[in-house]
Amino acid sequence: MDFKVIFDQHKRMVYNLSLHYVWSKEDAEEITQDVFIQVFSHIEQFRHEAQLRTWIYRITIHTALDFLKKKARKKRGGGWKALFIDSPHWNDKELIPFAHPGFDLEQKEQVEQLMRWIFELPDKQRDAIVLTKLEALSYQVAADCMQISVKSLENYIFRAKKNIQEKIEKQRK
């Protein structure tokens, strides 16, 4: 398949998914470039067991997370301490300011708080919410992307909802 065709078919999906993770236009553009470079150089290794779309989804999630880890390491000025950063801190407002262009300004405060809570959740719960609620994927496709069963996905979403409700409850008190 022609690479330009793959790019045109998936660019919007990759860009928007990256945006949900990094919350900034510039970073999402950089991640989109990195994702397509990886697709270009590994397209021969692509096994047709999975759909091209789910494969690209997985690459995008990994690339976005790696990008944020690198950003956190840079902020810490490299060195040996930076090696122990295993996940980016979405709670760090300086490192990851909320500049998602997909939300209205009036909702910004509310969405920002919700997004920071979502990204504090365990990885699987976070990815389940991003894929099903933000990307609005069907449960089957989201489960394929995460390489889990639909039942496990439902379980992650249920637990995520419960965790977020607890956080809202805490905030109210």
Partner 1 sequence: MNIKESSKDMMQDPFSILKKVRSQEVDDVLWTRVSARCSIESLAIPLSHRVVMVMLMAMMLMNMGLGWWKFKKDIHPKSWSNTQYYHQFQWNVYE
Q: Name the residues that contact partner 1, by CB under 8 A.
A: 3-4, 7, 11-12, 15-16, 19-20, 25, 29, 32-33, 36-37, 40-41, 100-104, 106-107, 109-111, 113-114, 129, 133-134, 136, 161, 164-165, 168-169, 171-172
**Taking the complex as a whole, how short is the minimal distance between the CB of residue 110 and partner 1, in angstroms?**
6
Instruction: Please spell the DSSP secondary structure of 15-77, one letter per residue.
Output: HHHHHHHH--HHHHHHHHHHHHHHHHHHGGG--TTS-HHHHHHHHHHHHHHHHHHHHHHHHTT
**Taking the complex as a whole, how short is the minimal distance between the CB of residue 10 and partner 1, in angstroms?**
10
**Taking the complex as a whole, how short is the minimal distance between the CB of residue 130 and partner 1, in angstroms?**
9
CB 158 within 8 A of CB 139: no
**Taking the complex as a whole, how short is the minimal distance between the CB of residue 29 and partner 1, in angstroms?**
6
Q: How far is CA 141 from CA 19, 33, 91, 161, in A?
A: 19, 24, 29, 20
Minimum CB distance to partner 1 smaller for 82 or for 155: 155
**Taking the complex as a whole, how short is the minimal distance between the CB of residue 37 and partner 1, in angstroms?**
5
Q: How far is CA 173 from CA 11, 111, 112, in A?
A: 43, 20, 20
Minimum CB distance to partner 1 smaller for 81 or for 162: 162
Minimum CB distance to partner 1 smaller for 75 or for 159: 159
Q: Which amino acid is at 36?
A: F
Minimum CB distance to partner 1 smaller for 76 or for 113: 113
CB 18 within 8 A of CB 51: no
